[in-house]
Amino acid sequence: MEQREFFQRQGYLILRAAAAADRLTLLHNQAELQLQQARSPLEYEADVQYPGSPDDYQQPGGNTLRRLLQAWDRSPVFQQWAGDPVVAKVIGELLGSDRLCLELAHHNCIMTKHPQYSSSTLWHQDFRYWKFQHNALVSAWLALGHETARNGCMRLIPGSHRLTLEAQRFDDRQFFRTDHSGNRELMHQAVRAELQPGDLLLFHSGLLHAAGRNHGDTVKLALVFSYRAAHNLPLPGGRAATMGSIELPSTLS
Ligand SMILES: O=C(O)CCC(=O)C(=O)O
């Protein structure tokens, strides 16, 4: 219950050592393998067009991998983690539902951030381009290695998921404008989500978050899935309605 209250107030929750060491090794090895194989669908630095991204694949760093998409389909090891009953129970409590669906269209990826080349992710709310009845999804970000300020860990604005933010506070790509004084005040309240390998960051689809570049020496890897209560249906016309979801066993069973 304390976890739920914290999450409702702050919009995020960190579960330390959520993945045990043996599970983490399996997940990390699988992620490394996927990185080496680089099978489609993939997203490159040139695709994201974040600040610092090259304009095209031919530019230096353009063909650096940013996300290995559709993690669910990539390995049973990822599926077992994504449906882990202990994690599902916590997310079910946060969402107030024992019936959860994992979204195939959103996140569902291995996030990679390379030391040789990476761009920064500006402040945004994931729900800006997600189409569901309610802005109430939870994303589960599993750190497969250390996440620190140096290698571009997530930054969060606690409580921002509860704010009503007018459209003019966002730019035309739905990033939170840095030239708006009210926005800047909010950004001063940001906290860093520094994670150890195996820590799980759970965050609300309306939470403002951002992340920097990787100034470290190794590739940063995180496995990220997003969940909704089964009754919070995707809206017609959105990617979630087309790509579907995986219904998890009831968290009561
Ligand atoms: O750059 C990062 O690691 C953050 C990625 C992110 O916020 C997102 O994909 O929504």
Number of H-type helices and E-type strands within the chain: 7, 13
Q: Identify the bridge partners of residue 228 per DSSP, sorted by sequence position.
A: 101
Say if 196 falls within a structural domain.
yes
Q: At what angle do helices 2-10 and 85-95 cross, to 10 degrees?
A: 60
| Dist. CA 121 → ligand 1 center (Å) | 6
Round the average pLDDT of the chain to a whole number and report it. Answer: 96
Say if 253 falls within a structural domain.
no
pLDDT range class, residue 55, cuts 50, 70, 90: confident
Instruction: Classify 9 as helix, strand or coil.
Output: helix
Ligand 1 atom, smallest distance to 139 CA: 10
Q: Identify the bridge partners of residue 4 per DSSP, sorted by sequence position.
A: none
pLDDT by residue (tens digit) across 19-37?
999 999 999 999 999 999 9
Which mutation among 45, 141, 154, 205 tests ligand 1's pocket best, with the greatest number of atoms within 8 A of CB? 154
Ligand 1 atom, smallest distance to 209 CA: 7
Supply the CATH number for residue 120's domain: 2.60.120.620
pLDDT range class, residue 234, cuts 50, 70, 90: very high
Determine the average pLDDT of the residues in 198-227: 97
253 pLDDT above the threshold of 80: no
Say if 168 falls within a structural domain.
yes
Q: What is the pLDDT of residue 113?
A: 95
Pocket flag, ligand 1, residue 121 (CB < 6 Å): yes
User: Between 60 and 197, where is the model more confident?
Assistant: 197
**Segment among 24-28, 56-60, 181-185, 207-211 with least mean pLDDT:** 56-60
Say if 112 falls within a structural domain.
yes
pLDDT range class, residue 184, cuts 50, 70, 90: very high
Nearest CA owner, ligand 1 atom 10: 126
Q: At which residue do the structure tokens 């539902």 appear?
A: 97
Pocket flag, ligand 1, residue 156 (CB < 6 Å): no
Sheet containing 191-193, strands listed edge to edge, beginning at the edge strand earlier in sequence: 121-124, 209-211, 154-156, 191-193
Ligand 1 atom, smallest distance to 107 CA: 9
Q: What is the pLDDT of residue 60?
A: 81
User: Number of structural domains, the chain?
Assistant: 1
User: Between 55 and 52, where is the model more confident?
Assistant: 55
Nearest CA owner, ligand 1 atom 5: 121
Pocket flag, ligand 1, residue 126 (CB < 6 Å): yes
Say if 252 falls within a structural domain.
no
Domain that residue 34 falls in = 2-53+60-247
Pocket flag, ligand 1, residue 211 (CB < 6 Å): yes
Ligand 1 atom, smallest distance to 121 CA: 1
Token code pair at residue 63: 């063909």
Determine the average pLDDT of the residues in 133-160: 98
Say if 197 falls within a structural domain.
yes
Nearest CA owner, ligand 1 atom 7: 210
Ligand 1 atom, smallest distance to 210 CA: 7
Q: At which residue do the structure tokens 């669910």 appear?
A: 72
Contacts with 54 (C-beta within 8 Å, 6 or more apart), sequence order: 45, 46, 60, 61, 62
Name which of 152, 116, 119 is nearest 53 in CA terms.
119
Nearest CA owner, ligand 1 atom 4: 211
Say if 155 falls within a structural domain.
yes
Q: What is the pLDDT of residue 49?
A: 86
1 pLDDT above the threshold of 80: no
pLDDT range class, residue 124, cuts 50, 70, 90: very high
Pocket flag, ligand 1, residue 111 (CB < 6 Å): yes
| Dist. CA 141 → ligand 1 center (Å) | 10
| Cα 216 from Cα 150, distance rounded (Å) | 6
Ligand 1 atom, smallest distance to 153 CA: 3
| Cα 209 from Cα 41, distance rounded (Å) | 25
116 pLDDT above the threshold of 90: no
Q: At which residue do the structure tokens 């950004």 appear?
A: 187
- A 10 A CB-CB count for 22 gives 8
Predicted TM-score (pTM) of this structure: 0.97
Which secondary-structure segment (H or E) carries 230? none
pLDDT by residue (tens digit) across 147-159?
999 999 999 999 9
Q: How many residues does the chain have?
A: 253
In this structure, what DSSP letter does residue 40 have?
A: S
Say if 25 falls within a structural domain.
yes
